[in-house]
Amino acid sequence: NAGVTQTPKFQVLKTGQSMTLQCAQDMNHEYMSWYRQDPGMGLRLIHYSVGAGITDQGEVPNGYNVSRSTTEDFPLRLLSAAPSQTSVYFCASSRTEWNEQFFGPGTRLTVL
Amino acid sequence: GENVEQHPSTLSVQEGDSAVIKCTYSDSASNYFPWYKQELGKRPQLIIDIRSNVGEKKDQRIAVTLNKTAKHFSLHITETQPEDSAVYFCAASLSYKLIFGSGTRLLVRP
């Protein structure tokens, strides 16, 4: 099993550009989530999904969209990148929200 | 929504000593409390978790205690080793959302 995979590993964007961060898992987990990690601020929940077709907002959803058309994939879209979105982004999946979350390797995003 | 406070932000201990990290949460309905360890440049990984119907859980040198009345939970690491050096995050789960504390950087001095 590959576990949770994320692409790309690194990305540099200019202000105003859009892009999609990809996340996939092969563990048949229902629960998936996106976090951003900034120095001194821990992991902040952006969006989450409890199953295909169901998504909801986390703590810091502004500027991001998600969709969940399949159990395996949970892409995160940046609509119009801003320097404040410079961060490391982690995708995670788990059987339910009360089980161990398995994190992907992360995407380091820089917005100039 | 849920808010999780974590202390201290940094902790330095001598190898062999114990380390304690404390977290408080705001919503009494939170029911799941995991702890994650993150080494430099790596992804977070679960080290131990506890559910709201349990007061204490141990796994070798690691233990977690939960006080639901006071709304706080703690991570205890005994006989610390240099490989325990990392950033540790507590979290609390409420209504499908897992909210993390801001992290504790633990340094174990050999």
Per residue in B54-79, pLDDT (tens digit) is 899 999 999 999 999 999 999 999 99
pLDDT in tens, B35-49: 999 999 999 999 999
> Does A44 reach chain B within 8 Å, measured CB to CB?
yes
Q: How far apart are CA A107 and CA A88, in angstroms?
A: 6
**pLDDT at residue A105 is higher than 90:** yes
A56 chain-B contacts, CB cut-off 8 A: 96
Q: What pLDDT was estimated at residue A53?
A: 95
Question: Given 3-state DSSP classes, what are the helix, strand and coil percentages for chain B, each rounded to the nearest 5?
Answer: 5, 60, 40
> Does B88 reach chain A within 8 Å, measured CB to CB?
no
Q: Comparing A1-5, A60-64, B3-7, which segment has the lowest mean pLDDT?
A: A1-5
- Nearest by CB: B103 against A33, A42, A97: A42
Any idea of the CA torsion for B91, B68, B5, B63, to the nearest 10 degrees?
A: -60
| Candidates B51, B97, B104, B105, partner chain A, best to mutate (most A CBs within 10 A) | B97
A49 chain-B contacts, CB cut-off 8 A: none
Q: How far apart are CA A12 and CA A98, in angstroms?
A: 34
For A51, A70, B107, the CA distances from A54, given in Å and listed in that order, are: 5, 10, 41
Q: Say yes or no for a CB contact (<8 Å) between B44 and A33.
A: no
Phi then psi for residue B34, to 5 deg, are -95, 160
